[in-house]
Amino acid sequence: MTAHGGDRLCEAIDRAGSPACVGLDPVLDRLPGAVRGADAPGSLEAFCMGVLDAVHGAVGVVKPQSACFERYGSAGVAVLERVCARAKELGFFVILDAKRGDIGVTAEHYAAFAFDAMGADAVTVNPYMGFDTIEPFRRDGRAVFALVRTSNAGSDAVQSAPAGAGTVAEAVARGVASAGESSMGARAWSDLGAVVAATKPADAARMRELMPKQIFLVPGFGAQGGTVETVRELFTDGAGAVVNASRSVLYPEGVGADWAGGIASAAEAFAEQVGVAARG
């Protein structure tokens, strides 16, 4: 793996024809009856393997939610390993949503978790402990997405707090933009990206202004309220963002026995919508 992490993500998007990402957030009591059994981690594994096959072709990026697997301890983490490995075999760009953050050598351990143990292409990180704590996660060929502006209503209590001339999120955005300058790809995007929610459209243009070289990982499409209209502002000339949907793709309404077919259709519709948003 010698290419730049940002370039590799752009290529995965190009191959799929849409900057859409499907989040793998498996929750036992929402799984189709056909895969839901007494063995919870096994049920998650059967579901996720089916999802990977179902969305393959429609999207080029998947985002496993580490928490959904970790809740089952080592057995769940073993499933996450196999799901990530299968996603890589199928050619997906894998963003491990782990939101880790710690100092120095501890951050190096978390990077090893994401990139060596799980084999992910990218990982989400939390910047609260400082921009230096992001650096141990950065590696040639991989990408990192720092939390900047998140989709939950309560995030305003910290991220919208006034800080200097703007908000805390704006101060963090400036720090991420500055740190990201150290590794720019051929596509002119940094390998240090940012998580910027689709549910706060008023912030979107400001975030792009402050982080012109960050690829945005955009959660909140579909079930969390993000729409074509709210994500449109996050793209620059059709690029620079990857939009995630989880629940609206994983658990489409009105699907019977052919759950995988329902997910495939939902992924295709989602990828098409995001493609429209990207083209402005």
Which residue ranges make up the site for its own copies (CB under 8 A)?
A: 25, 27, 65, 67-68, 70-78, 80-81, 99-107, 109-110, 112-113, 116-118, 126-133, 147, 150-159, 161-164, 168, 171-172, 175
Shortest distance (Å) from residue 57 CB to its own copies: 27
Shortest distance (Å) from residue 47 CB to its own copies: 15
Q: Give catalytic residue positions.
A: 99
Looking at the Cβ atoms of 14 and 132, the one nearer to its own copies is 132
Residue type, 114: A
What are the C-alpha distances in Å from 24 to residues 77, 84, 137, 244, 268? 14, 10, 22, 10, 16
Q: How many CB atoms lie within 10 A of CB 2?
A: 6
Looking at the Cβ atoms of 72 and 189, the one nearer to its own copies is 72
Looking at the Cβ atoms of 75 and 184, the one nearer to its own copies is 75
Cβ-proximal residues to 222 (8 Å cutoff; 6+ apart), any chain: 245, 246, 247, 248, 249, 270
What are the C-alpha distances in Å from 270 to residues 49, 237, 239, 266, 274? 19, 20, 17, 6, 6
Q: At what angle do helices 73-89 and 40-55 cross, to 10 degrees?
A: 20
Please give the Cα distance from 176 to 188 (Å, whole number): 16
Q: According to the 3-state scheme, what is the secondary structure of 57-101?
A: CCECEEEEEHHHHHCCHHHHHHHHHHHHHHHHHCCCEEEEEEEEC
DSSP 195-239: EE-TT-HHHHHHHHHH-TTPPEEE--BSTTSB-HHHHHTT-BTTB
Shortest distance (Å) from residue 25 CB to its own copies: 7
Shortest distance (Å) from residue 89 CB to its own copies: 17
Looking at the Cβ atoms of 72 and 235, the one nearer to its own copies is 72
Looking at the Cβ atoms of 79 and 271, the one nearer to its own copies is 79
Shortest distance (Å) from residue 28 CB to its own copies: 11
Residue type, 47: F
Looking at the Cβ atoms of 115 and 235, the one nearer to its own copies is 115
Shortest distance (Å) from residue 187 CB to its own copies: 28
Locus of tokens 């060929």: 141
